[in-house]
Every structure is written in C-alpha cells, then in structure tokens.
Structure 1
Amino acid sequence: MDTLDPHNFLNRECTWIKFNERVLRESAVPSNPLLEQLNFVAISASNLDEFFMIRVAGVKHLIESGVPHHDIAGMTPQEQFSAIEQMVHEQVRQQYAYLNDLRDRLRGEGLYFIKPSELDEKQQLWLENFFEREIYPVVTPMAVDSSHPFPFLSSLSLNLAVLLRRREGDSSVKTAILPVPSSVINRIIKVPGETGPQQFLFLEDVLSTFAERFFLGCEILEVTPFRVTRDADLDIDDDAEDLLAEVVKSLKKRKKGAAVRLELADSASRMVKTLLMTELSLEERDVYMIPGPLDCKVFFSFTGIEGYDYLRYAPAFPQPAYELENLHAPDMWTAISQRDIMVHHPYETFETIENFVRLAATDPDVLAIKQTLYRVSSKSPIIAALAQAAENGKQVTVLMEVKARFDEENNIHMAAKLEKAGCHVIYGIMGLKTHSKITLVVRREEDGIKRYVHLATGNYNGKTARIYTDVGILTSDPLIGVDASASFNLLSGYSDPPYWNKLAVAPLNLRQRIYEEIDQETAWARQGKKALIIAKMNSLLDKKVIARLYEASQAGVKIKLIVRGICVLRPEVPGLSDNIEVHSIVGRYLEHSRLFYFYNNGREDVFISSADWMPRNLNERVELMIPVEYQPHKERIKGILNLYFHDNVKAYAMNGDGTYRYLADTRKGEPVHAQAMLQKEAEDHTRQLQKKDIKTRVLRRTSGDK
C-alpha cells in the first residue's frame, strides 16, 4: 500500500475545525460549571478569529493566485474553501444555539442580558445619563456618501451600520457607520441595582438605542451591528537585511489586510448586507448572519463576575515543585547538581522557573545567562530578572522571537526594554522562527565553570503557565550544557552546526532523529518483538512522519497518539493504520506538552520537545528534542502518557474519517480524569512534604529537649 497516497490523509483545515468543534462541545458538557461552559464558547470564538485571519486568508490567497495546488489530502484550494465554508457556518450555528441556551440558564442564576427597552422608567433615566456622560463624547459617526468614502474598519472591531434619511427635504436613504468603542468602554454594562436579578446591557444595544443623537434632523431606519475580519498573516521578506524593521513594517500592513469574513446581525436588511459585501469585496459565502451578540470573546471578562464562584471550577492552585522541595538542598544550584529536576505545569508552579532565572540574575558567581523567548507576558518576572542581571554586570543574551504570531508587538517592546538594560538581544533568525525553550546559566564554582540548563515544552510565560500543561527539566548534565552553548552560538553567530551530544535540533537533525526512533520500533516489530510508540503533541501534520507511522503500524507496532488539535493521520484504517489509535483531550487546561515514548526493546527512549510533528516545526523553526535519561523521570513521563491515554472523562477518540467520538458517552467502569488526577497528585505531594517537615521539626525539638 502506498502510504503517501492523498486518500490516506485528512485536510488540515477540516481537522482544525473538528478540533474547535470539540472545544465548543465543552459548552454543553453538564459536568462543566455554567460560567465555564460560557468560557468555552468564548474560546471557540477566539479560535475562529485566528483561523480566519491566518488559515482562511491563506486559502483565499491560493485561490486568487490561480497556481495549481493540492493539499496533503489532494484537495484544491477551491475544494478546501467550500469545505471550510460549509463546516464553519454549521459550527457558528451550533455556537449560538449553545450560547442562547446558556443565557437562558444564566437567568436561572439571576444574571440577565437584556435590551434597553426592557428597563423601567428609573433605569431608562440612568441609561440616558450614562450615554450622555460616558458614550456620546467618545463616538464619532462616519457618513458614507460621495464626499465621504467608506471608512477603513480595523480587523475584529465592532461597528454599527446605520440607514437613515432626513426628516425634511432629501428623502433618499443614506448610510453611516457608528464605531462601537469597546476598547475604551466595557462592552457589557451592568445596570445599577441593589436587589433582585443582576441585569446587563451590551454597549452596541445602548448605542443603537441612542443612534439618533448622532444624526439630528434624521430618521433612523435601521441600525445593524457588524464586524470585519481581515487577513493578518505577516509577509516577511526573507532577503531583508533588518529583520526587526521588516516585522514592524509587516505589522503595519496587517492592520490593513484584506477582509476575509463579515459577521452581521441576522436582523440586517438585504440593503445593508449588499452594501457591506460590496465595500469589503466579499461574497455571500463570506458572510455569517449572527443570531445574537457578535464576537463571543466578550464573555471572557464576564465569566469572572464576582459572587458566582459556584458557577466556576473549584480553585486549583499550582503546587511547589515536589522534586526540588524534596531534596531539601541549601540552594537551587546544589539541588540541580544532585540530580535532574522535572517540573510539570500548571500542577507545579512556574515560579520555580522564574526563581531559577531570578537567582541567576542576583548570584555573584553567575557569569552569563542565555535564553530564548517566544511568548512572554507583558509583566514578565523573567524579563525583569534578565534586565537586572545585565545591570548587575552579567553577560545576558536573549533571542527574542519577534515573529511569534500575534505577540510580535509585545515581544518588540520587551526586547527594547532588555536592550535598554544592557542585554544583548537577537531578533530571531531570518527565514526561521526560534521556537525552542531553553535557558543556559553559566556559573563559576570551586571546581571551575559549570552550566545549568532549563529545557521545556512550553513558553516562558507565567500567565499561560497557569492554564497550559507543559513539562520542563532543570539539569547540570555537562553534555547537555555543551549542546546548549552550541545551540546559542548557532543562533547568535556564524558557527557551523556542531556535533550534538544529546539534543536533537530542528531544522538540522530533529526530523532524522524522529525517523530513527520510529524505524527502530518498526524493526523490532518485524523481528516479532514488542514494539510500542506513545506520543503526545498539539498537532500532527507532517506527511513523511505519518507515512513512517503507517509503515510501523503495518509492521505491528502499537501506536498511541494523544493529539490535541490538528491531526491529518487516519487511525484504525484496515490495512493502513490498524494499530494506531488517536485520542484528544479537551479540558480545563490546554494540553500543550510534547512528550514521546519509544519502547526500544525495553530500553525505553523518552523525550520532551518544543516541536509538534508538523513541517513548519521540523523544517522552518529552531526546535529542540531532549532525551530524558533519569529513570524516575522516564517512569513519570510514561505514567503521564498512560494516564492521558486512559482518560475517559475529557477524551475523544478519532475515527478513520476524521470524526471523533466522546469517550464519556461509552464509558465503562470508573471515570479517569487525567487533569484532575494530576492536580490531586501534586496536592498529595505537597501534603507529604508538609508532613515530612512537621515530623522533622518535632524530631529536632525532641532531640533538643533531651
């Protein structure tokens, strides 16, 4: 069988839509608290925004180019767009069905979203005063006529299309645009009230109610909310000499990208719809008629409403890093020197890693800190520590990836802050994104220079580390230290690719190392021996890697894949992938860790990595795959993988046609909820440490009494 036949693969865009369908389905899972269900609606909406700005825009570019092209599944751009259009329209319909049901159930909890017309006389007076004081001064109406061309509307901004005519004189219908100022005024407005149900208004409804205040002497015929989504992919010139300047230039272009989607309230007249389609150069299939409030991301802020904790998940707090605390070493350097330390976020606190960088910044024996940064929070303790380190006279080198999508501006700002403090900042590498997660600390000790390294599957972002699952390892392994230095020399200078002792590095040798591990299992299976691969990642898209997995399956290798999002591999297809199972976990935390296990005739090769098995990660990014050699860590990661694969509460199993079945619907036996069990395990470890500390203090006091 030809494993590379397009029929053996699924379309990337369709599998992404299926992933977002799984996210959206959490909005209707009864075990999720009500406000958490609403949060999943908001997440699905946010995902769709990015999907249109990047992926749909890309498919449109392919159609417009006219260049013959077939994707991994053999689909033309036109076929892809037709499939996208059909699937997303249905998904949006389902999204608002869930939302409207949730709004009804929120009423049962005393939380009402109402229209201004539903307010009583006293509330109407309040609203009028609120409008005059807070809204009217910041809104500028924009006429659309021969003297006023249709205005440029920024991507994802909410606006009102207004049809009107003069009360006297010219009776022709005129058009105007009212921008909804949701960037400066909360879009969800609470109606004052001390008792009874809490009532909320949408800003656009308030603006619609008072629209005539902006057009004195005119009769308002129609006011319709709408929203434009624009192409936001950056066009970076790989031949440009100044990467930073090129990114800044592309960011300006992004704001003026071509429209790719129009969302329009379903009350809109044909006249408004036709006008907007014409002005935005969109077709009927690009228009989404919305039966509710546009842009469900607005509910992100609402889900944190005070006084309703019982409608959210029970609090789950990151715990101290058990392995580090259990060593009771006098300092972190000593602890890492004793053995590798593994940290599992968000179950264990990211502060461990922030403290590692902070300690390096203030330790007089530390000579240099080198770090790659892909996505960082705007108030990052790591940025502050690196700046402090430079001010303390240490050599600080930071590769700040300014091409990290939708974090470009923040990363440029953070890089400027670091440069001002005296850090040496590298603004990425032309033609490649640096996606590896690595920190190298060089320290002078009694027996000479020593390297300490942190390697991870996730970003150095304390905010996302509370909601993304990731694994990191702190090590003083000399060979990994040498590889870490070589990696930074490769990034910062003209060094030729070195011989790698332990790390596999994309785009140099990571792909080949993956091939070797898969082929090794295939060889064992052909010898009639046990062969097993368990792999966890965000996305699986690389055609050649998948072909090798198909070959391994045909040889008898058992393959268990845990893929959160895109997966174009077809599992459980007779004669092709009989031995491959694919599961997907969608839960409270976003599954972000990349973990890989190969049985290797009992030797058990285990890795963590920053890279998914996608062409961009293996060919166009700087990525790392790190061998896990400390046996307790091998066992720990193997346990995590097995736990995820046996999840029957938040897991979906993939069918060969690309659909998914929710395992909770067919569960037999006890529920297995991986995320909840990992949280409990972390909390149990903390209790064990506390008991151990209490026992130690008691023994010390008893010994002192004697």
Structure 2
Amino acid sequence: MNKTLSPYVNRDLSWVEFNRRVLEEAHDPGNPLLERAKFLAIVSSNLDEFMSVRVAGIQDQIKAGYTKRDFTGYSPAGLWKRLMKRTDQMVGDQYRTYREVLRGLAKEGLCFRGIAELNPHQLKVVDEYFFDIVFPVLTPMAVDQSRPFPLLHSKELYLAVLLGRDAQTELEEEPFFAIVQVPSILQRFIQVPGRVNSKKHEFVLLEELIERHINTLFNGYTTIAVDPFRLTRNADLTLNEEGAEDLLEEIEKELRRRRWGLPVRLEYCKDMHPYSLQMLKEELEQGENTFEIDGPLDLSFLMRFAGSLEGYEHLKYPRIESVYPHEFEETDDMFAVIRQEDVLLYHPYESFDAVSDFVMDAAQDPNVLAIKMTLYRVSGQSALVQALALAAESGKQVTVVVELKARFDEERNIAWARQLEKAGCHVVYGLVGLKTHAKITLVVRREQGMLRRYVHVGTGNYNDSTAKLYTDIGLFTCHPVIGADASALFNEITGYSSPYEWKAFGVAPTDLKPKLFGLIDREKTHAASGQPARIIAKMNSLSHQEMIDKLYEASNAGVQIELIIRGVCCLRPGVPGLSENIRVISIVDRFLEHSRIMYFHNGGEEEVYLSSADWMTRNLTRRIELMSPVFNPRLRDTLKNILQMNLDDNQKARELQSNGNYERVVTDREPLRSQFHASNIPIWKN
C-alpha cells in the first residue's frame, strides 16, 4: 500500500465522514422534504455531542501538553486542526442544504419569514404573543464592573446585545454590553396567522421576535446590535468512583459541575458586530474554536418542527406500523410460547410492546420468583420500570442494574433508580470503573417442582421510544445453557464471584475479545485448509486496533469478510496485501442502524451471535458487554437474511474506499432499499 498512508483511518475523522453521510440524506432530493429537515436536525445534534465529548477531550490533551501520536498517526494538535477544517466545511454545506430545503418547503406552503416580511395583522398577533408569553420569562443580563460575565449554559441560544445611551452613536464611546437567553422552554418557531386568500403556513423564529422587542428590556438605551450566539462546553464526566462513598451522589455533583465545563466551541451568526464578537472571544477564551454560521444557530429545532405538522404526509416517509410478533398474537401465556421455541424480534418492524408485556407478565405471574434486568437508557414514561416496581411490591425478588454513567441520560437514570428503590427493588450501579452496557433480562419461574430461566437478550436499550427509531434485534429463549450464563452474569455484577467459564456468552471486559479472536482464528484455519471461510459482522463502530489487525490477518489468510458498520470505521478495506478480502458498507437511512449481529461460516456449521458491543476499545475493555449465540437454526437463517438484505442494499448503502472516503453503492441489480424492504416481514422472517 501507499507508504504515506496509515493502515488505519482516524476515529474522529471517520466520525466526521459519518455525519457527512447523514448530511447527504438531508441533501438527497429523493427523500421527502420534512425528512430532509429532520436529517439537518440530526447533523446538528450529532455535532453538539461530538464537540462536547470528543473534541473536548482532544483540547484537554493539547492543554496538558500531550503530543504523542495515536495509532492512526495523529497528534492531538494535528488532529484538532484537521477536525476544525473538516467540520467547518461540513457546517457550510449543512446551511447551504438548509436554504435549499427551506425553498422546497416554501413551494409546499411552509414558509419561514423574517419579521420585516410580516403584514400589520401578523405583526399585531406576534407582538401580543411576545408580551403575553415571551416577555415574562426573559432576563436581561448586563455585563459591567459590578456585574461580571454570567454563566452561559452549554448548547443554549443567547443574544449578544450592544447598547448606547439615548442618541449616542457607537463611535462616541464604548458601548454597553448585555446578554439575553432565548428561553428553551418555549418553542423555537412561532406560527403566524395566514394571509388573506392564502393557504400558506407561515412561521417566525423566536429569537427574531425577541430582537424586535429588545428595547423593552433596556429602557433608556438605544440598541446598536443584536446578534445570536451559542456556546458548547466540555460535557465529559470525570468520576472518582473508587473514592465515592455514594456513586449516585457523586454523579449528581458531576452533573452540576458539567454546567461549568470549559468552553469548546463558540457559534455566532454571520456579520456579528465586531465588538460583541471580541467580547465573547475574550470572556470565553475562544480564539480558534469559533464557527461563523450563515443562518439560524442550532438547526435541531427542525426535528420538532417537522414532527409537529399535520396534513403534510406527502412530505414525510410513508408510515410503517410496528406489528405485534405473530408468535405471541394469539396467546396469553408468553412463557408457554418461549418454552416451545425461541422467538426473535426485529425492531422497529416488530413492536417493543412484546418486551414490555414479557416483563409485565412476569411481574403479575405468581409462579415467577425473581426478575433481574439491566437498564442503560430508559424512556421518560417506561412501562418496564412500572412493571419492575409492581413486581417488587408484590414480593418478588427484583434486581435492577441501572447504569448511572450513560452519557446525557444520567439525570433520568438517577430518577429511575430512586423510584425503583422506593418500590423495593434491589438497585445496583454496576462495577467500579465499568459501564454496564449489556442488554439482558432474566426471569426465574417455578414450574412443576423445578425452576426454569427465561431470558431476553438484545442489541439495543430497553427503551420503547428509541425502539421505534432504531433497528435492533431481541431474542427470547429458555435455553438452559443461556439461562445458566445469565444467572452467572448477574451474580458477577451484583456480588462477589470468581471468574466463570461461560458456556454460551462472550462477556466483556474479560472474555469477549478472546472469544471473538478465537472465532476469527477458526475462520483462518478453515481458509488455510482450503475450505470456504466467511465472516459477516454488523455493528455501529469499529475502532479497536487489535481487532482491526486480527481482521487484516484473516483477510490475508483468505477469509472473506463483509462488515456493515454504520458509523466510525478505522479499518481500511480493499488494500492489496492488507485487506483485499474485506468489504465495508455503511447504511444511513430512515432508521438508525443499531443492531450488532455476527456471522461465522465455521466450515458449514454456521454460528450467529447477537451482541450489545461494538468493536471499540471502550466496549471490549471498559464495559460489561454481552454476546449471545442464537441456537435455533430457523432464527439463525432469519438473521442471515437480515444481514444479506443489508449487504444487497444499493439505495442507501455507501462503500468505504481504501482512501477513507465513502461512495454510494451502484449496481445494475434491481433497486433494493433494505430498511423499506424489511417492512415486508415475511421476506426475512421464515
């Protein structure tokens, strides 16, 4: 290969390319207009998290004087410069796409107006809205010798206000400076009354309405300039778990400290007044970490906008109704169905209600003695939490492993933990230094004088909201080997237990990586003996150097490797002498591809696994993760069908090139869009 080209793609640069693929969906005229608006919102939300976590970490390294290069060849300073350049280019493209989408929406009668474009009647209505609803919640914050620069919250929208006294011009003396927060509790877009004989729906942005009335907050002063800006802070938690007497209390303290995290990005509107910009840069100590935005800051409001409109179904994806799994449709006894045969669920095409019903049935069943469950990210109104509380209140042994360190869900998980404890559940916060990311439920039931274990393992969180938006797999089984491993896993998390010899599971951080390496080595052995050897792996991200090297070894041994990786991929495929037998595709479409499925040909004795883990360093070494085999041959075939459907996608799949770029898959085959194809359940469910 090219000697100047690293055998690895940098993780953070790969993430930028992933977010660019999301942006491509916003730009794609083949997608409905309101869905394109949603993709624009996702690009903004993704970038917020990337800046507050990944870029923040790189900046911490630079400030600490860390200069060592990572395994992809980048120093922190060199990587930061490259990321800023790429991100700046992407944001420019995002706002060009935003203007294009707005033009398309205007043709459909959905128009964002500037305040100056409103007629007198419309102005009267929005002015009344301002004085009745907006004005009472606004707080002007002056900055002068007696009032220091205020604490600015991360990812909130603010207005920088420059003021003069009465008829003073900005050249006579230094202007006065103040800040007004645009209240996030109010909707960012405001619908105004339609014009006479017009069917158009018109909207104005909240910050523009506040700007129109800014003088009402500063009586006796003349407004010189009003400019929106936004700050992103370092949001990574730094916990001393070993020294913390109460982990829940320690995390609550860290969440409060997060508000004071160091600034990592300043966004401001194009043509901002130079005095205001200089003031912000000095006070926030932001020199190069700035982005000039040609349009409204923070396009994430488009997600709510697109979801709030009724009567514009032609501008949205056709509705896909999740169906209740047919295996459970005509029964009141889910346990009897699972005893007869394992059941596989494919979300969002099949309803997550089946998982909630399983836990609720267990809570109400007098023969159920114990329920054990891991919770990583839970929705705001979780039926699962209600069922677990009910089970505890009825005297069952209920153990819940709540991961308090699930980033940006810490506060919600603290609330759930307290609620479950009050109900009588035994709540465990996992092991020191490790996030519990495994997705598993164990139900112990008394049947005919013996105990039987029922298990649900999944690739996604126990979250009924994201189950409608993410593609994930769940497995119900009462296989005794899986049941025994499930009990051992909970014992290791909640108590003292010597290392366990897993019969079926692969469990991180101790066993999963060696198990995966063994499965890959087995394919190498088959290839060396002249037998067909094949690996298909579907996941969110691949960035672990040892795992990449192991896949390179397998490729060189003749193993055919196909990877379906939605996001970050640090492996370079198709490089002669290194990875010529590896193909990598990424599918970005209507739903977030989230399932982790692994297939190994094994000389014809095929094996398929479901997992909670991506092949990243954090998953394989710093988290409690789970990989479970699928023993049922029919369900293995179902999962193979799903994998092949992804591999055959020639509408929303992009293939990773050896230079690190992604190109759309182009074939002369009949068009196949895997996510839409999957809605026809008989295709993949035998």
Letter aligned with residue 248 of structure 1: E
**Partner of residue 249, structure 2:** 245
- Sort the Cα spacing of 1:393 and 1:39 in 2 relative to 1 into closer, same or farther, 3 A: same
Residues 1:519 and 2:518 aligned together: no
Letter aligned with residue 79 of structure 1: G
Deviation at 1:395, TM superposition (A): 0.6
Deviation at 1:21, TM superposition (A): 0.2
Distance 2:130 2:375 in 1: 44
Distance 1:559 1:14 in 2: 23
Deviation at 1:171, TM superposition (A): 4.7
**Partner of residue 279, structure 2:** 275
Query: Secondary structure, in 3 states, of the residue corresponding to 1:81?
Result: helix
CA deviations over 1:606-661 (Å, ceiling 9, x no partner): 10100000110010000000011110011111111111011001100000111000
Distance 2:355 2:434 in 1: 26
**Partner of residue 314, structure 2:** 310
Q: What is the Cα-based RMSD across aligned positions, in Å?
A: 1.7
Match of 2:269 among 242, 245, 265: 265
**Partner of residue 701, structure 1:** none
Letter aligned with residue 424 of structure 1: H
Q: Is the 8 A contact 1:323 1:342 kept in 2?
A: no
Matches within 5 A, 1:458-537: 458-537=460-539
Residues 1:190 and 2:194 aligned together: no
Q: Is the 8 A contact 1:10 1:72 kept in 2?
A: no
Give the TM-score normalised by the residue count of structure 1. 0.94
Distance 1:243 1:74 in 2: 37
Residues 1:229 and 2:232 aligned together: yes
**Partner of residue 68, structure 2:** 69
**Partner of residue 177, structure 2:** 175
Residues 1:210 and 2:209 aligned together: no
**Partner of residue 676, structure 2:** 676
| Structure 1 stretch displaced more, 168-177 or 136-145 | 168-177
CA deviations over 1:21-45 (Å, ceiling 9, x no partner): 0001001212211100110000111
Q: Is the 8 A contact 1:319 1:682 kept in 2?
A: no
Distance 1:324 1:609 in 2: 24
CA deviations over 1:393-427 (Å, ceiling 9, x no partner): 11100000000000000000011111111101012
Letter aligned with residue 678 of structure 2: L
Query: Secondary structure, in 3 states, of the residue corresponding to 2:680?
Result: helix
Structure 1, gaps ≥5 residues long: 689-706
CA deviations over 1:171-193 (Å, ceiling 9, x no partner): 5311110111122x211000023
Q: Is the 8 A contact 1:403 1:428 kept in 2?
A: no
Distance 1:441 1:561 in 2: 34
Deviation at 1:684, TM superposition (A): 10
Distance 2:604 2:393 in 1: 50
Extract structure 1 runs of 4+ deviating beyond 6 A. none
Matches within 5 A, 1:118-517: 118-167=117-166, 171-183=173-185, 185-193=186-194, 195-240=198-243, 241-283=245-287, 285-304=288-307, 305-325=309-329, 331-517=333-519
Deviation at 1:267, TM superposition (A): 2.1
Matches within 5 A, 1:563-578: 563-578=565-580
CA deviations over 1:672-701 (Å, ceiling 9, x no partner): 11111111125997xx9xxxxxxxxxxxxx
**Partner of residue 631, structure 2:** 629
- Sort the Cα spacing of 1:282 and 1:171 in 2 relative to 1 into closer, same or farther, 3 A: closer
CA deviations over 1:112-133 (Å, ceiling 9, x no partner): 1011111111222222222111
Q: Is the 8 A contact 2:572 2:660 kept in 1?
A: yes
Name the % identity. 46
Query: Secondary structure, in 3 states, of the residue corresponding to 1:342?
Result: strand
CA deviations over 1:467-497 (Å, ceiling 9, x no partner): 1111111111111111111111111111122
Distance 1:499 1:122 in 2: 75
CA deviations over 1:140-171 (Å, ceiling 9, x no partner): 11111111111111000100001111016885
Distance 1:370 1:475 in 2: 15
Distance 1:33 1:124 in 2: 31
**Partner of residue 60, structure 1:** 59
CA deviations over 1:67-122 (Å, ceiling 9, x no partner): 33222201100011011000000000000000001001111011110111111112
Letter aligned with residue 214 of structure 1: L
Q: Is the 8 A contact 1:324 1:341 kept in 2?
A: no
Matches within 5 A, 1:579-590: 579-590=581-592
CA deviations over 1:5-58 (Å, ceiling 9, x no partner): 981101110000000000010012122111001100001110000000000000
Letter aligned with residue 263 of structure 2: A
Query: Secondary structure, in 3 states, of the residue corresponding to 1:469?
Result: strand
Q: Is the 8 A contact 1:322 1:682 kept in 2?
A: no
Matches within 5 A, 1:681-696: 681=681
Query: Secondary structure, in 3 states, of the residue corresponding to 1:223?
Result: strand
Query: Secondary structure, in 3 states, of the residue corresponding to 1:250?
Result: helix
Q: Is the 8 A contact 2:160 2:178 kept in 1?
A: yes
Letter aligned with residue 660 of structure 1: Y
**Partner of residue 8, structure 1:** 7
**Partner of residue 546, structure 1:** 548
Q: Is the 8 A contact 2:167 2:222 kept in 1?
A: no
- Sort the Cα spacing of 1:429 and 1:6 in 2 relative to 1 into closer, same or farther, 3 A: farther
Query: Secondary structure, in 3 states, of the residue corresponding to 2:679?
Result: helix
Q: Is the 8 A contact 1:14 1:84 kept in 2?
A: yes
Distance 1:197 1:475 in 2: 54
Letter aligned with residue 127 of structure 1: V
Q: Is the 8 A contact 1:243 1:430 kept in 2?
A: no
Distance 2:683 2:201 in 1: 36
Residues 1:100 and 2:102 aligned together: no
Q: Is the 8 A contact 2:430 2:494 kept in 1?
A: no
Q: Is the 8 A contact 2:641 2:684 kept in 1?
A: no
- Sort the Cα spacing of 1:621 and 1:496 in 2 relative to 1 into closer, same or farther, 3 A: same
Query: Secondary structure, in 3 states, of the residue corresponding to 1:289?
Result: strand
Q: Is the 8 A contact 1:521 1:552 kept in 2?
A: yes
Distance 1:553 1:108 in 2: 52
Distance 1:114 1:196 in 2: 15
CA deviations over 1:247-290 (Å, ceiling 9, x no partner): 1111111111011001100020222211111111111x311111
Q: Is the 8 A contact 1:437 1:455 kept in 2?
A: yes
Letter aligned with residue 128 of structure 2: N
Distance 2:543 2:532 in 1: 27
Letter aligned with residue 131 of structure 1: F
Q: Is the 8 A contact 1:319 1:683 kept in 2?
A: no
- Sort the Cα spacing of 1:318 and 1:205 in 2 relative to 1 into closer, same or farther, 3 A: same
**Partner of residue 699, structure 1:** none
Give the TM-score normalised by the residue count of structure 2. 0.97
Q: Is the 8 A contact 1:538 1:566 kept in 2?
A: yes
Distance 1:62 1:537 in 2: 29
